[in-house]
Structure 1
Amino acid sequence: MPDEPVPPVPALPWNAFHAGDNLDVLPRLEPGSVDVVYTDPPYNTGNDFAYADRFRDGSHADPYAGRHAAWTAMMRPRLLAVREVLAQHGAVFVSIDDNEVAHLRLLMDEVFGEANFLAQVVVSLNPKGRQLGRGFATSHEYVLAYARHLPACAVDASTTESVDEADFPLRTDDGRRFRYLPLRNTNKKFNPLTAPTLHFALHGDPVSGRVATAEFPGSQPLTPVFGDGRPAVWRWSRPRVDERPDDLECRVIRGRAGERVDIFQRDWLEREGGRRKKLRTIWLSEEIGSTDTAVAELKALVGHVFESPKPTGLVRRILATLPDDVVVLDPFAGSGTTGHAVALANRADGGTRRCISINSAEPTRPGSNAQLAGLATVADITVARLAAVAEQVGGGLEIAPVVG
């Protein structure tokens, strides 16, 4: 960590921890009090789950079907409980691997509604690929993202990190970078029939470059057309053209039918509010970190005491799609990656995010690194990491009484 002074503990600590089965803890949280959930639930590897399965009926003769049904039965009530504490504008992000992604997708359609699906993100956490077992060397997992209520969802699935300066090859005399975009809407779904108010004549002068809604000396009227000559529409309305005439330019270009005059927008690299670009649905390890970097992050704080933690960069990418004062929940907190990521994000941008982490007091495996380090339960691992984060990054840590 950098040798910067640790900021004072805020009035509301950045991290709070609850030990206990999340099915017992979640009902104690205020309904609608959480803005975003990120969680990495136990994957279905064929072993028993640490979390109590109170709903399995045991009627499946097929061991694979029974195993999937048991995992789904464990997850369903917990996702329902998550939905209750999630605000209307909130969203939930769940990490999962190939074993249960299909079943989890159907389960989340059931709990959150298919209409609230946001994305199925492919996350490359192991670029070398897993060499054990049969078949292919799997190098990815998934994150399933759902809104609580899509029309109100606060997620802005874009980021400044996705912007490539090479996409803006032109410069003004004062050094500002930009690119030309056709003012004509190139999507043929938008045309004079579907958007009649955006089909009108603008006046442009290809010599001076000036564009206006009204005729001026040296100008010529220009209406938008597709490349095949059919009528099109502009992307801007008349009032917007009047507000931003300096961002438009009339130019002579060479098309398939020879030279023609058209109107272009000067699209600036640096603009008010910061340029953002939509996130793609494949997230690479060099962008967000890998399992190896996640192990190194944890080892630097409390040692190698947890198998396959998630990198903080994964959670920070999710946090970057939301305001900097959100309440974050991780009901399967594991090693405490989510709380660590929240603290790092707050330290970086001055945000006031808060994270509620829940983890069971399941005993650590006999002879494991965690047990040898004196961490008797998985909850102890979470607390150890969050305490180290509070000491090194700041933000404090509140530990609630054990539930259950």
Structure 2
Amino acid sequence: MSLDFEPVDDLTGPGEAKSNLDVLARLFPDAVVDGAVDVEALRDLLGESAAPTTAEAFGLRWPGMAEARRLSTLPATGTLLPKPEKSVDWDNTRNIVIEGDNLEVLRLLRRGYTNTVDVIYIDPPYNTGNDFVYEDKHTTSRVEHETAAGQRDDDGVLQTGMGSDRIQDRKVGASLHTKWLSMMYPRLLVAHHLLKETGAIIVAIDDTEHARLKLLMDRIFGAENFIASIIWQGGRKNDSRYVSVGHDYMLIYAKNEGALRQGDVRWREKKPGVDEILARAAKIWSSHGDKKAANEAYRKFLKSMEKMGATAGVLRFANLDESTGRPYNADRDLSSPNLRASGIYDIHHPVTGKAVTRPQRGWAMTEESARQMISEGRISFGDDETKIPRGKIFLDEMSDQVAESVFSQERTAAGKALVKLLGEDVFPFPKDVNVVARWLDIASIRNPNAVFLDFFAGSGSTGHAVMDLNAADGGNRRYILVQLDERIEGKDGHDTIADVTRERLRRAGKQIVSQQSPDATPIDTGFRSYSLASSNLKPWDGTPDQLDLLEAVDNLVGGRTADDLLVEMMLRMGVELTTPLEMREVADSPLYNLAGTLFAYFGSDITIDRANEVAKALEAWRDEEPGDADTTVVVRDTGFVDSATKLNFAAALRQAGFTTLRSI
């Protein structure tokens, strides 16, 4: 291997153990000796802030916690294989659907998507007592969990079933809780890295694990970043023995609530019915020549909106402005809270010309401000000067409201909608798209360019919700969905849940496009599909087959393509999967250009002549649109006929001005 090309394998990413050690070494160089942490030295450097090893720690603990935490620091060893045949609009979309274990996928995404995601929404499997599909290879075994939780006796015999007592039943429950926590902990730790500093995470959960999840989230995200525990009342259960428990929760945390506060961020949503009322008011105003008739027609319309469930918060805007037709109410009190000289002056009625009745303590605004308000039509006068004027509040300026922590929405509607969309009942208990869209919009501060992540994608409700949000305002929001390749039985045309996810997104995209008006802004209803797989590169295991030097020259797994290797290179180097990509054929192999800052060539059997051809093509392509950024070139480590050719190629690239050379 030539030292001129730094191996991509040597790179490390945020949150991985090696990166954590590097950060610690930069902060406390005296505590890191020969690549190992001197814990005692670190304790001395931290002073009184370091808790003694014998300290009783506060917080959630469970058997297997340390191992679960370690899983989050491991670098990814797999890759993602692109699946254009399972995708929609591959070349243009920026949405992503990934099939495979979400812990390994999150570790793969960590390098390219750290501090990128605006909102994470997940609806993880509730701990119902059934076995989890998420069996991480590096976690403790089931027997170890059962033993650590006290479910097995000293002889290793499982103490459950008909012969168990209440104590043993409690131990069984503890084992299930530890297993669920060990599944969630590493995934949430990696997810924390992916969020922007102004980002937020929403986790749906039920009563079984709500308390433990709250403590777990406090530990990972910090109790100071807790936003709310939203209660979603989804229906009544009349067959319940004691209480109808028909609600779920959504725990919401900010990545950095201090950053939100510093930016004066306030989460708001549009009041229900505002857009419809504003549109109808404009239509009524333009179609009525008489102002009185327009107001009568408008108030009649509001009555119909009241019957349809519109809230009092919008229905109180029951007047149309005399000049503009804008809906308003006259709720603003213009009287001063205390007597002051600047509030003692006369305001004259616009019709009678006489001074209106003045509040006892005078006006709340100065005389100059009053003149300004009158000129802008922001004061509502009575029929004559005997009534005290009121200030106007316009609906289009007060259309937002803060969300409440409790809301009701029947769950059955979501299931019926999915059955109607797919034509069959293939997924139980899907999340309501409208509910998901609402909270995604609130938590993303209604950012039309937000990035959303859901690594328990299920039927794809989050992706559907993102497309709905874009259709509503022409936004460019995008989603990343991850779904385990869990098989489902007896569902025609769907072998896995991920098949359902993709089919739901295809149909939802088509439905949204069909419902748009011809002049609507086109939105992204496509997605790129990937599947988790082992690395494209053969691992060295010392077997006799790999001792064959001729076989070892080609380090690529059989059946993998240059496109597959490109994706692995992007993941290892921290390049977003939807980075703009161009490709040209050079010396019988594809030359890839990622946004002009990274070139990749994975050709094999590269001779001196072919290497020179590739070097010239690289220089010419780069110079077509020269930029200030450093340009990286990545090649296949075993692609050259000999080491001399590789050295000559590196020398030619450096002479052409390429300073960062890597190999995979």
TM-score class, shorter: 0.7 to 0.9
Match of 2:114 in 1: 31
CA shift at 1:162, angstroms? Answer: 7.4
Shift of 1:92: 1.0
Q: CA deviation at 1:201?
A: 4.3
Extract unaligned runs of 5+ from structure 2: 1-87, 151-170, 275-312, 514-524, 535-664
Greater relative contact order structure (CA < 8 Å, 6+ sep) = 1
2:530 counterpart residue number: 400
Residue identity opposite 2:471 in structure 1: R
Q: TM-score, normalised by structure 1?
A: 0.74
Give the one of 269, 272, 282 matched to 1:158.
269
* Mapping of residues 335-346 of structure 1, within 5 Å: 335-346=459-470
Q: 1:296 aligns with which of 416, 422, 432?
A: 416
Change beyond 3 A, Cα 1:172–1:311 = same
Q: Which residue number corresponds to residue 270 of structure 1?
A: 396
Shift in CA distance, 344/200, structure 1 to aligned 2, threshold 3 Å: farther
Q: Could you tell me which residue of structure 2 aligns to residue 145 of structure 1?
A: 252
Q: Tell me the distance in 2 between the aligned counterparts of 1:24 and 1:237.
A: 64
1:205 aligns with 2:346: yes
Please report the TM-score for the alignment, with normalisation by the length of structure 2. Answer: 0.47
SS of the equivalent of 1:69 reads helix
The Cα shift of 1:220 comes to: 7.5
Q: CA deviation at 1:314?
A: 1.0
User: Could you tell me how far apart the structure 2 residues matched to 1:402 and 1:384 are?
Assistant: 19
Contact 1:159 1:279 (8 Å CA) reproduced? no
Give, in angstroms, the shift of residue 207 of structure 1. 5.6
- Tell me the alpha carbon deviations over residues 38-75 of structure 1, each in whole angstroms, 9 at most, x when there is no partner: 11100010111111255566222322223222212211
Distance in 2 of aligned mates of 1:185 and 1:31: 52
**Alpha-carbon separation, structure 2, partners of 1:113 and 1:96:** 19
Look up the SS of the partner of 2:532 in the other structure.
Answer: coil
Tell me the equivalent position of 2:316: 167
Give the match for residue 332 of structure 2: 181
Give the Cα separation in 2 of the matches to 1:55 and 1:203.
76
2:456 maps to which residue? 332
Which one has the largest radius of gyration? 2
Q: CA deviation at 1:185?
A: 10
| Cross-structure match for 2:127 | 44
Q: Offset of 1:398 from its aligned partner?
A: 0.7
Pairing 1:320–2:441 present:
yes
Deviations 1:340-373 (A, max 9, x none): 1111222232111111000111222x4xxxx332
Identity %: 31
Q: Shift in Å at residue 250 of structure 1? A: 9.7
Match for 2:105: what amino acid? V
Distance 1:238 1:21 in 2: 68
Give the number of the structure whose residues are more often helix, by fraction.
2
Match of 2:149 in 1: 60
Q: How many residues align?
A: 352
Query: Which amino acid in structure 2 is aligned with residue 317 of structure 1?
Result: R
Shift of 1:238: 11
Q: Distance in 2 between matches of 1:65 and 1:183?
A: 62
Name the structure where strand makes up a greater proportion of residues: 1
2:430 aligns with one of 298, 303, 309: 309
Partner Cα separation in structure 1 for residue 501 and residue 127 of structure 2: 21
SS in 1 for 2:207: coil
Query: Matched residues in 2 for 1:120 and 1:148: separation?
Result: 16
Q: Quick check: 2:359–2:388 contact (8 Å CA) kept in 1? A: no
SS in 1 for 2:177: helix
Matched AA of 1:60: A
CA distance in 1, matches of 2:96, 2:451: 11
Deviation at 1:382, TM superposition (A): 1.4
Q: Distance between the aligned counterparts of 1:46 and 1:200, measured in 2?
A: 72
SS at match of 1:372: coil
Letter in 2 for 1:49: F
The alignment status of 1:383 with 2:502, answered yes or no, reads yes
Following superposition, the deviation at residue 239 of structure 1 comes to 9.8
The Cα of 1:10 is off from its aligned counterpart by: 9.3
CA positional deviation for 1:200: 8.6
Unaligned runs of 5+ in 1: 1-7, 192-198, 210-216, 226-233, 253-260
| Aligned residue identity for 2:332 | L
Q: Is the 8 A contact 2:486 2:498 kept in 1?
A: yes
Q: Which has the larger displacement, 158-167 or 390-399?
A: 158-167
Q: 2:483: which partner in 1? A: 359
Aligned CA distance change for structure 1 residues 152 and 403 (closer, same or farther; 3 Å): farther
Shift in alpha-carbon separation, 1:131–1:60, aligned structure 2, 3 A: farther
Distance 1:263 1:305, change over 3 A: same
Q: Read off the aligned partner of 1:178 and give its amino acid letter.
A: Y
Distance 1:314 1:221, change over 3 A: closer
Aligned CA-pair RMSD = 3.7
